[in-house]
Amino acid sequence: MEKPKHHIFVCCSFRGREIKGKCIKKNSIDLIPYIVEELADRGMNAMVSSAGCFNRCDDGPVVVIYPQGYWYGGVEGEDQVDEILDALEEGRSEEKYLIA
Ligand code: FES
């Protein structure tokens, strides 16, 4: 497997073995298959993984992209994902969802 250029982490609210945070309650896990599909459609060299709580629960659903270090909040659905991936393809962040 080629090393991905971008690694996208979707908060799925794990704290240890338990799911306790807010992102999963806002259906963050449903973003993952959509992101996988979009990355393939766009031919982007990126991968997506579920992640534990980023301690920004009130800003959730949280999506973090490395190596850029973009932390996004309020990623509630496909429209927000599309905007974020559009920006990533253009080599920039999508400012309106940045939380850090
Ligand atoms: S549950 Fe997502 S940041 Fe805490």
Ligand 1 centroid–CA 34 distance in Å is: 19
Q: Residue 100: pLDDT above 90?
A: no
Task: Give the integer Cα–Cα distance in Å for 44 and 39.
Answer: 5
Give the model confidence (pLDDT) of 56-69 as tens digits: 999 999 999 999 99
Give residue-wise pLDDT tens across range 78-91: 999 999 999 999 99
To the nearest whole number, what is the mean pLDDT of the chain? 96
Best CATH choice for the domain 6-97 from the list 3.40.30.10, 3.30.1360.30, 3.40.50.12780, 3.90.1150.10: 3.40.30.10
Buried b (16+ CB within 10 A) or exposed e, 34-54: ebeebbeeeebebbbeebebb
Q: Tell me what pLDDT residue 1 has.
A: 72
Q: From the CB of 62, is ligand 1 less than 6 Å away?
A: yes
| DSSP structure class, residue 67 | T
Residue 67: asked if its preceding bond is cis (omega within 30°), the reply is yes
Ligand 1: residue of 22, 49, 58, 75 to mutate (most ligand atoms within 8 A of CB) is: 22
